[in-house]
Structure 1
Amino acid sequence: MASPRPGASGRRVLVPLALAQFICSFAGSSMNVMINDISEDLDTSVQGVQVAITVFLLVMAALMIPGGKLTDRWGRKRCLMLGLAVYGVGALLSAAAPGLGVLILGNSVLEGVGTALLIPPVYILTTLLFTGTAARARAFGAIMALGGIGAAAGPLIGGLLTTAIDWRANFGFQVVVVAVILFLTRSLEDPLPADPGRSFDTVGAVLSAAGLILLVTGILAADNNVWLMLGLLAAGAAVLAGFFGWIRRLERAGREPLLATSLFRDRTANLGLVTQNAQWLVLMGVSFTVGAYLQVVRGYSAIATGGVFTAATLGLLATSLAAERLAKRRSQRTLIVTGFATTTAGIVVLLLLVRAVDDVWAFTPGLLLIGLGLGLMLTPSVNVVQSAFPDSRQGEISGLSRSVSNLGSSLGTAVAGTILVSELTRNGYAAAMTALAAFGVVGLGAALFLPHDRPAAAPPDRPATETAPER
């Protein structure tokens, strides 16, 4: 299939796709600076707000694989528009929420479902429209830059809106951005035709979602009941084992499963998925830990807490926007390894300085390093995974890739939040940051096993198979 090449029309397509990633990332982190305001207004607790944040991220992770698969059946544009509409309704409901239950329904459930529908098309369309490592690095660089900025600047923007107006204004802001994206995508053309007759593995979708939900719920239960935690984790592992058994059974019967087992046979893609999971786990874990610590322990306002994250936002923006230039000069493996090393060093600096210096500026050096490191590796990690498969597999791998990333986000909030909330003191902060540093080391270890590839010196219109990393 001859997919359209990215000229001026390609750039016009890239703007709404990048904005879609921005608003979904923003939703996941902006609530971190509204913890006190929401808990007071809705008469709930820090744990209640943490549940709302984690459930939003978890719904995304659990439904991202089915959402990616539905793009083949319904078409990429239809899934994108439907996801935006569901997301917008959820944001409106959240803005008017009278209590925590309605907030969870609007923000955690509806916005989570909407995100699971709209994000896979973003990455599929980008992969189809931009071929070659350098061209995709530029496109994914723009998308990941706005996604990273949404996650890193979410606390700052959220703090400004909460202080100037009200915490509910954050959801009003999301509605406005969604409306803009819908307007910009009205003339978007789907590069591939929809296949309404294509089968959909409903049993696989239920099993995969249930397994992921049980695992993260088990982590959230750690501070309440150890036996409940172990039981949920064991149940989640058993359900996921059943899921893999089910998809193997379908393949042996000649039927199409939710995920083909062949997706897990590419060593480079598997390592790339591990790095994606670790990156978003660290990003969202740091965001929640620092945000909750500043508000609950040190008593900072929403705007003051958001301002602390400016350093991370600037660092992430600087390296993300340089993605194309960096891809031409350095291999993707080098960028990912350097990114993890820088990010982990930032966590260590953040931990040591904050313990030693009782001043808000003690957060700046560490957060800057974390932002620089994440910006370096977000784009090449996505590029490594997406470029490992042909156009016909993009629906599956895009859903899997985004599910793994969002599972990392939900795990980051769950793990760090569980540790921190159990002891909202300086010691709890230290324990949470130490755990996040350990996950950074795991990501670094996976990155070191990536194959050595060449910098992307090929022209943008060169076929992707000729510029993919060597295996």
Structure 2
Amino acid sequence: MVIESGARPGLTLAAVAVVQFMVSLDLSVVNVGLPQIAAGLGFSAVGLTWVIHAYALTFGGLLLLGGKAADRYGRKRVLLLGLGLFGLASLVGGFAQEPGHLVAARAVQGIGAAALAPAALALLTTTFPTGKARVRAFGIWSATNAAGGALGVLIGGLLTEYASWHWVMFVNVPMAACALALVWRGVAAGPPPARSSRPDVLGAVLATAGMTLLVFGVVRTDQYPWTSPVTVTTLAVAAALLVAFVHVERTTTREPLIRLGLFANRSVAGANAYNLLVGAALASAFYFVSLYLQRVLGTGPALTGLMFLPLALGVVAGSVLAVKLGYRLAPRTLLVIGGLLTATGFAWFGLISPDGAFTTDVLGPSIVASVGFGLGLGPLVSIATVGVARHETGTASGLLNSSRQIGASLGLAVLGTVAHHRTGQTATPETLNDGYALGLTLSAALLAAAVLIALTVLRRTSPPSRAEQADDRDSLPARD
């Protein structure tokens, strides 16, 4: 293995882990506190959903630009810039006094995360390119990624009930400062990047605007039916913007956000399609389970967060298990097993009852779904960068993250709308339960579709060879 001069693999891995934990945390940390945020700032029912969407859409829509910037301007520089922006937006958001203030801060957080995530993942890919060190590094990455998303609900609930909702924003500031110190000290500047042309900013704007309008159109169907002129026009404009994005990527004289030829790589195409569906299912399931605990079973924010702890621990356990099994099983096999387990857990969640309880309706499916999800995280990232040239690893990493966040926004918008229509106008525990159960069952169907993609699109591969498992020990973080 070749490591860039000045690099310290242990500190690099620690920095990437903190960054990924923080970015994942912010996808879920506000969920439990949404009722308190609405009361404190005066959000409307529709406007409140944009506390989630503002982050996920700017994050997902600008990730490709973030990956390209990491490749062109250097990963360390982009990491430092993104961390500063993310930390500042978190601080400002914690002091928000109006709905628009918080939504804007969440959008800026998403911009910072769009710079952070692909740069960090590309750095991990190039620091640990093969062998046992790569398996271990991606296992640690996947564990922190999973723990951030799952523990976000627990942390958000505790902070909301015992401090205030403002702290779901403030909590990011010390993490950003810690990551800044680790990146500054442990990440090498790297060789001067190639600068053949400027990144395609127009493409990034078209993609983000198109996805935002698409989600906006779906969410607003609670007031405007699918066949209404408002909805039809909104969705038509969204589609036009996304078509324009594809056209710009094919014809731009600047460096495109993504070389469309990357999708000819079956690993890239299959992994991102799988990831899109997993993101849609997971974000929706987290949302429905959180609301089921609070609005159907009447659980408080802190206890709701605590009830998500088995889910968080299960994801970490699955990620650790994936590292051990990764030496014996092919990545595609782990994806299939993990996807089937997660689908089983979500289908079990679909049996929730208005007369249920945590021990009978939540605990069991939480363990099954979370272990399955954790089992597939690391292998998915590894597959998505197989066969990708070194100078495009940032782009491929950004694409993978983008597919997860775009899937999360679209999935929550669509399944949330379907659940709302099932609930109807009378929001009783029984009708709410019916809506949430339907949403969770559909989440299981999305996971089943993801498994089918893994089986039909991804190529058969083998686990690491003995030579790769015995890779140079100097590359392992333990030696740093």
Q: Under a length normalisation based on structure 2, what TM-score does the superposition of the two structures give? A: 0.90
8 Å CA contact 1:5–1:130 kept in 2: the answer is no
> Residue in 1 aligned with 2:475?
none
Q: For 2:279 and 2:348, locate their aligned partners in 1 and report how far apart those are by CA, in whole Å.
A: 19
Q: For 1:159 and 1:10, locate their aligned partners in 2 and report how far apart those are by CA, in whole Å.
A: 35
> Residue in 2 aligned with 1:235?
237
> Residue in 1 aligned with 2:63?
64
Amino acid in structure 1 at the alignment position of 2:392:
R
Q: For 1:262 and 1:461, locate their aligned partners in 2 and report how far apart those are by CA, in whole Å.
A: 34
Q: For 1:356 and 1:205, locate their aligned partners in 2 and report how far apart those are by CA, in whole Å.
A: 44
Q: For 1:136 and 1:198, locate their aligned partners in 2 and report how far apart those are by CA, in whole Å.
A: 32
Q: Structure 2: which 5+ runs fail to align? A: 473-480
**Once the 2 structures are TM-superposed, how far is the Cα of residue 259 of structure 1 from its aligned partner?**
1.4
Amino acid in structure 1 at the alignment position of 2:242:
L
SS at match of 2:462: coil
Q: Structure 1: which 5+ runs fail to align? A: 464-471
1:41-440 equivalences under 5 Å are 41-107=40-106, 109-132=107-130, 134-187=132-185, 188-195=187-194, 198-225=197-224, 226=226, 227=228, 228-250=230-252, 256-352=255-351, 354-355=352-353, 358-361=356-359, 362-422=361-421, 423=423, 424=427, 425-440=432-447
Deviations 1:162-204 (A, max 9, x none): 2221111222211111111111111221334234563222332
**Once the 2 structures are TM-superposed, how far is the Cα of residue 294 of structure 1 from its aligned partner?**
2.3
> Residue in 2 aligned with 1:446?
453
Q: For 1:190 and 1:24, locate their aligned partners in 2 and report how far apart those are by CA, in whole Å.
A: 22
Amino acid in structure 2 at the alignment position of 1:454:
S
**Once the 2 structures are TM-superposed, how far is the Cα of residue 414 of structure 1 from its aligned partner?**
2.1
8 Å CA contact 1:289–1:420 kept in 2: the answer is no
Q: Rate the CA distance shift 1:343–1:41 in 2: closer, same or farther, 3 A.
A: same
Identity over aligned pairs, percent: 32
> Residue in 1 aligned with 2:478?
none
Deviations 1:375-411 (A, max 9, x none): 0111111110112302111122122111111112222
**Once the 2 structures are TM-superposed, how far is the Cα of residue 47 of structure 1 from its aligned partner?**
3.3
Q: Rate the CA distance shift 1:346–1:192 in 2: closer, same or farther, 3 A.
A: farther
SS at match of 1:148: helix
Q: Rate the CA distance shift 1:197–1:153 in 2: closer, same or farther, 3 A.
A: same
Equivalenced residues, count:
457
**Once the 2 structures are TM-superposed, how far is the Cα of residue 75 of structure 1 from its aligned partner?**
1.3
Q: For 1:461 and 1:200, locate their aligned partners in 2 and report how far apart those are by CA, in whole Å.
A: 39
Deviates more, 1:18-27 or 1:279-288: 279-288
Q: For 1:64 and 1:341, locate their aligned partners in 2 and report how far apart those are by CA, in whole Å.
A: 28
SS at match of 2:207: helix
Q: CA RMSD in A?
A: 2.2
Deviations 1:243-295 (A, max 9, x none): 22222224xx7x63221121111122201111112222222111111112322
Query: After TM superposition, which residue ranges in structure 1, 4 or more long, deviate above 6 angstroms?
Result: none
Deviations 1:115-165 (A, max 9, x none): 011111111101110011543232122112111111111111111122221
1:459 aligns with 2:461: no
8 Å CA contact 2:132–2:471 kept in 1: the answer is no
Q: For 2:305 and 2:419, locate their aligned partners in 1 and report how far apart those are by CA, in whole Å.
A: 19
Q: Under a length normalisation based on structure 1, what TM-score does the superposition of the two structures give? A: 0.91
Amino acid in structure 2 at the alignment position of 1:143:
W
**Once the 2 structures are TM-superposed, how far is the Cα of residue 35 of structure 1 from its aligned partner?**
1.7
8 Å CA contact 1:152–1:313 kept in 2: the answer is yes
**Once the 2 structures are TM-superposed, how far is the Cα of residue 61 of structure 1 from its aligned partner?**
0.6
8 Å CA contact 2:350–2:438 kept in 1: the answer is no
Deviates more, 1:305-314 or 1:209-218: 209-218
**Once the 2 structures are TM-superposed, how far is the Cα of residue 420 of structure 1 from its aligned partner?**
3.6
Q: For 2:310 and 2:331, locate their aligned partners in 1 and report how far apart those are by CA, in whole Å.
A: 25
Q: Rate the CA distance shift 1:240–1:134 in 2: closer, same or farther, 3 A.
A: farther
Q: For 1:257 and 1:35, locate their aligned partners in 2 and report how far apart those are by CA, in whole Å.
A: 38
SS at match of 1:19: helix
